Structure 1
Amino acid sequence: MSNLVIRPVTTTADRKRFVDLVWDVYRDDPAWVPPLKDEMLGLITPGKNPWFEHAEAALWLAERAGRPVGRISAQVDELVLQHMGAGTGQWGSLELVDGETEAGPRLIATAEDWLRTRKMTRAVGPFTLSIWDEPGLLIKGFDEPPTAMMGHHRPGYEAVVEGAGYTKAKDLYTYELDIRIDMIPMVQKLIDAGRRSKRIRMRPVDKSRFDSEAHIILTLLNDAWSGNWGFIPLTEAEIAYAGKKLKPIIYEDLVTICEVANEEGVFEPAAFMITLPDLNELTGDLNGKLFPFGFLKLLWRLRKPRVKRMRVPLMGVASKYQGSRLASQLAFMMIEECRRASVEVYGASHGEFGWVLEDNQGMMSIAQLPGSGINKIYRIYEKAL
């Protein structure tokens, strides 16, 4: 008889064990970057993460003789039900220690049973906890460390998930590129024309009025991404929460807002791009701990970061301009502005752009800059319950 036990996470101590498990899973993986434990605990704790205002989640640990050997979550989100269809439940956070073969299928079955009790008829995942956090299962790019805000997984999970009856719903791509390479002449001409245009105004974000700037950006995000598969709008509380988390790692010369004059000549926000120094390069040696000394180290490093990689986690053009020449022009103008700052000010040589949905042709055409290529693929799965 198996001595594997699947039990729900119910206490603060349980949540800490849920987070700590990844150290057992990845301690020998040279590509793994330890996450900040406080960030991970905040993500899964009701009352700290405003996602819980419109969603509920259940967490489980798989244990042998009291030792955690696996974990999983299941989620039901009212906004997912509205935007992805009634009966759509989600799961995520799947992790298994090396050599564990029994826990994976049992954890997935446990998550599915919980979703059925909530009358869900379809399971989609993995999401930790939402599409705005760490979506998808890594299926390509295991040997390269993840950039900030992207997940990392061991090879083998794909077989576990597909063995449980799941099929591909959508792939998410990230593109890596050498940002020391100049734009091709045709694109540079488009950028130069945009800079001369009296209809377009491009500016850096103003951190002295960060709350209002964050609201502009995240409101644009909700509009720009509204037609994408899997899109879930950020609530006002989530916008405020995201702004608070992003502020310490926002640099004015790396975040750009484009404004376009409307028919009355009034300039309105039309596009944005957020570029971040790869935070994982600055936190990797902290082993997930900010206290007692990690916080001071990180503060010092954030004062004037020098990194190899930059990441563009979010970019968007207002929906009314999408598909137009102007949309491409605004995107390339912002990319060039941040590219130059990344190289000249922060010493970066490479950037990562994404994630990008596999069928988002507009964003894929922009991501395919000189010297770029797909470096990671994350897969989202689905199954009828």
Structure 2
Amino acid sequence: MFLLSHMLKSFIKKGRLTVIDADGKRHVFGGLQEGPQVTMRLTDPKLYRSLVFKAELVAGEAYMDGTMRFEEGSSLRDFLMLFSINRLSLGSYPIQKAIRAVRMRFRKREQSNRKGQAQQNVAHHYDLGNDLYKLFLDENMLYSCAYFRDPEETLEQAQRNKLRLLAAKLDLKPGMKVLDIGCGWGDLALYLAQLEDVSVVGVTLSKEQHALATKRAADAGLAGRVRFELKDYRDVEEKFDRIVSVGMFEHVGVQHYDEFFKKLNALMPDDGVALIHSIGHMSPPGTTSPWLRKYIFPGGYSPALSEVVAVTERNSLWVTDIEVLRVHYATTLAHWCRRFEANRDKVVAMYDERFARMWEFYLISCEMMFRAGSQMVFHLQLSRTRDAVPIVRDYVTDLQRSYVEREKQLHLQV
């Protein structure tokens, strides 16, 4: 316990952590500043050392295995909030600094998403089965940050807000061709085709998503204008007036950024517009949590804006608009967490208890990253020319308002 105690004394500045070791002895850390009060029991002595050298990975695994438990009224949520608000002091601990330096040297290897490998990485997460995602997503199965114009809105309303915002930033015109890279279960593509007289091609590497999206297009009578393909975006050859990508850029990988933006440039005419919706962070370039990379998103990485904008410059693309959504994803994840917990028994029946604990750790830890950590979501609007969209940003608000009325006319249900 000596090494772990030494680290925790340095780590816990806000709140208090009480650790009950495998022998039942209590160790108290922090308590000088206000914050969460957490009692954690470690039942395996091997954790004392492994938590020092592999803190993020081992903490998640210990929760999954049940060798790390929370007692006396505290919860995993409390612990992850405590971790999040103290993350900077953990990062300054000498052992953690050394580990981070090593991880930074190998981060490109960790983020490899070559053709073929990218499909395997996607399948690891998105092909778990559509029935799982139906248990916690909104009714239209949008698996990305919602847009809460009012904190009291339902998840369904906030997700519709997000689609409306994206559509407005695309500044669609009748007859346009739209490419949706990483189309998920197809709701954005279907919404755009219902809203405007445009044709949409959605590409995904997930077999489960492709099958359901194709069925939804047929059921909506839109198969003639909306097509979904099981394809890597790098294999797309058609030209498009508009390109949108929501929640996919996180799976590109730093060493593939030039490849990504070069492809966008090649697929658009001079007056084309691309819109990227991605998770990012407000801190300098870093690495993905080892636990998140191993269990949830292999090959995944949420970039700093500095890493992204530099690449757009090298590829001669105008950044015509940037918007940062700061707390919207925390609220989205809180909704997902509540729905997941309400259906937890079904998840256990579909998979097992360890899987359910893994997804609890995933959803709650991500919420804390957006609530108290450095994570955010950014919208990056790009074009080859400076005037591809109106030069006054009012059009985004005006179009959203007009789309509300159009949805009513078309009887588009939230």
Interval containing the TM-score (normalised by the shorter chain):
under 0.3
TM-score scaled by length of structure 2: 0.25
The structure that is helix-richer by fraction is: 2
TM-score scaled by length of structure 1: 0.26
The structure that is strand-richer by fraction is: 1
Q: Which has the larger radius of gyration?
A: 2
Greater RCO, CA 8 A, separation 6+: 1
